[in-house]
Amino acid sequence: MTRKATVLPAASTALSRRFLRRAQQDARHFVRQFMHQSAYRAGLALSLFAGASSLALAAQPPSQPAAPDLLLGAAWYPEQWPEEVWEHDLALMEAAHIHLVRIGEFAWSRMEPREGDWQWGWLDHAIALAARHHMKVLLGTPSAAPPAWLTQAYPDTLRVSNAGVRDEHGNRQQFSFVSARYRALTHDLAERMAVRYGYNPTVVGWQIDNELAEPSFDPEAHKAFHAWLEKKYGTIQNLNQKWWTSYWSQTYSDFGQIPVHDADENPALLLNWKQFVTETWVSYVRNQAAPIRQHALPSQFITTNTMGWFDGFDGYTLHQSLDLVGWDDYETEWTDNAARHDLARGYKMKNFWVTETDPGFVNWRPNNLAHDKGEVRALAWQAVGHGADAVEYWQWRAALNGQEQYHGVIAGADGNPAPIYAEIQQIGAEFEKAAPALRETTPHAQVALLHDMPSRWAISFQKQVEGFDPVKALTAFYAPLRHMAGTVDVISPHQNLAPYTLIVAPGLNVLPQEVADHLLAWVRQGGHLVLGPRSGMKDADNALDPHLQPGPLAAALGAHVSQFYGLVQPVPLSLGQAQGSADGTVHGTGTRWAETLVPTDPATRKEGMYGPSNGWLDGAPVAVSRQVGKGEITYLSTIPDPATLETYLKTQVQNAHALSPFASLPADVEACVRRGKGHDVLVLINHARTPVTFTLPESTAAADLLTPGAPISGPVTLPGYGVRVLRLTGSHA
């Protein structure tokens, strides 16, 4: 199909210098990348360069309005529908203020219906129509759903389960993530797409694959894992020593003898397998990202869509190879959802995109109940409050067949708006209103929650008690920290710690010396580190540390754990340093896990005491603290009940001078602050079904961004699932 040359719109005199510079950079990049291709493309490149260079002289208004900085989007599947209905769908989207569509991520069989028979005309048309309706395109590489001809011709590309069963065609993600043949095919696919669409100004970015998830246990993966281990350990003797393989006569004389499984194996093997899987997914993503970067404009970012607390790989490591974090948000409980947003932001310490979220309900839970009316809007603004610059709904229109027929949609199978359409339309209109104030703003935190994937994996391998779920342990601490501090970053212990005055690390189970040194350096400069139960038990190879918990931090703490106890029933405790109680002590219970702490330094302070329970814990301190340099380390040996934990953590947040001015708001009201240059934006959300009335801090000077002129002084009433978005004239983070 012959493509018409893209014509750059004329610029108004108000066009920013930043846009001009980006346009010129993109055009120069286009010239460099495409001069070696056809004369047609080279000529087009020169015309683009000339157009970009002349933007500053143009006085005509743009022929199309630019998409706002805050984008509302939908997953659109034009390959599933006849082209006659595309215009209808896009017009409805435009009327709902949708400025972004994600397309292509499952369309390989439409792009290449037979091997080597490339069909691009339909995709050219879809992208052009999206541009006509003032939309940007997030273009997905369709490697998550290989076509039937591929899996038939190349069965060696199919993944094999842990049980040894080879996958078949008919679902998705049936490929082996390590297959060299599949990598070659997907590299070629990504390169062809990038050559064709990498210059297209409608394409704002690229999504690699879709929801990376399933590893493979095929013979090729076996060989790759054994080679990875040999590279890491050097000699089989070194591996035997690190893995303590003398236990149960597991000693190996050759790397090829090592089993390849993800359960019921040596804990060191299981941890190494997870790390191998992570690095394999990283190389899988880079395999497609490399040709895209080679041929695409610098302004086009590369992302993928991850899945919240999913533990199949280390998201912090994976996102080092990506430009922007995208995640698929299908959580229903608002506090956990807040933590997942902060996790996404913490991967790169940048704003992120919600690449998928449901417009009302899903189809894959045991009970797929709809959100209440207004709740979809509240959750959209929650995402923005935590740093999302785009919110995309899955999906636009109901598919007539397939495995997700009952999933929530914005338009029905007949193409007419579903009941949720009006609420989506309201969100889109509000995004347009608030976008200028939200531009170049992001949440800023003084408090961080450490989320360490090796530690999560290690605990999940050996929970000891069913009730100790590492994610639930994290969120138990997150909820009160979020309420008290306002903004919490969920970060890896390897990241920069300098911005924080308080860091809480529940379950930092795997604690290598270099991580301990990193944390101690921050503490000595004035930080306060609170370790939770099960911290510092394992080394980098998932072996028990003979120094006892918290391992390499025991000397600095001036205490160690002499024994641990899994809990099914709560145990009584009192906990010191609680502000608001007459004697500075709060009485409650410890849950899930408890440990006996033994101070070894007279400078170590005891905090609280266990009451009568199993005899071993009776009278033992619940927590201990010690000053280290300008800072302090605390070890909390259990997870107190929610009320006790909130009271205790409030003291820690206050001592770290990180208490939010909005900490006194009602429990179901979330206050999110995004900071910018010269102003902040406050997003207030009532997550309850019923109205709530409260008073904002007196120092809050604001303007309502959604309802200009609305009163903001005195009591504020938010209806059920109500939202206010306020521009603040000062720092309230």
Residues labelled catalytic: 211, 356
Please list, in sequence order, all residues whose beta carbon lies within 8 angstroms of the beta carbon of residue 223, skipping any fewer than 6 positions away.
Answer: none
**3-state SS of the chain: helix, strand, coil percent to 5?**
35, 20, 45
Please tell me the distance from the alpha carbon of residue 143 to that of residue 181, in angstroms, as a whole number: 13
Rounded CA-CA distance 309/337 in Å is: 10
Two tokens, residue 287? 């395999």
The first and second tokens of residue 426, run together, are 């309201």
Q: Which two tokens stand for residue 532?
A: 């939770």
Cβ atoms of 522 and 503 within 8 Å: the answer is yes
The two tokens of residue 349 are 């310490």
> How far, in whole angstroms, is CA 715 from its chain's centroid?
35
582 class by beta-carbon count within 10 Å (0-12 exposed, 13-18 middle, 19+ buried): exposed
- Note whether 563 and 535 are within 8 A (CB): no
Residue 22 three-state SS: helix
Other beta carbons within 10 angstroms of residue 44's beta carbon come to 20
Per the listing, tokens 């999560």 go with 456
Write the DSSP assignment of 635-657 as a string of letters.
Answer: EE-SEE-HHHHHHHHHHHHHHTT
* Location of structure tokens 């009271």: 647
Give the C-alpha separation, 703 to 708, whole Å. Answer: 7
Q: Are 509 and 453 in contact (CB under 8 A)?
A: no
In sequence order, what are the residues at sequence separation of 6 or more whose Cβ sits closer than 8 angstroms to the Cβ of residue 257? none
What is the torsional sign of CA 183, 188, 189, 195? positive
Judge contact between 446 and 675, C-beta under 8 A: no
Would you say the C-alpha torsion 699, 703, 705, 710 has a positive or negative sign? Answer: positive
Answer yes or no: are the C-beta atoms of 406 and 76 closer than 8 Å.
no
Exposed/middle/buried for residue 440 (C-beta within 10 Å: 0-12, 13-18, 19+): exposed
- CA 560-565-570 angle, to 5 degrees, is 120
Of 256, 181, 253, 199, the C-alpha closest to 223 is 256
Query: What does the alpha-carbon distance between residue 211 and residue 310 come to, in Å, rounded to a whole number?
Result: 10
- Compute the chain's Rg from CA coordinates: 27
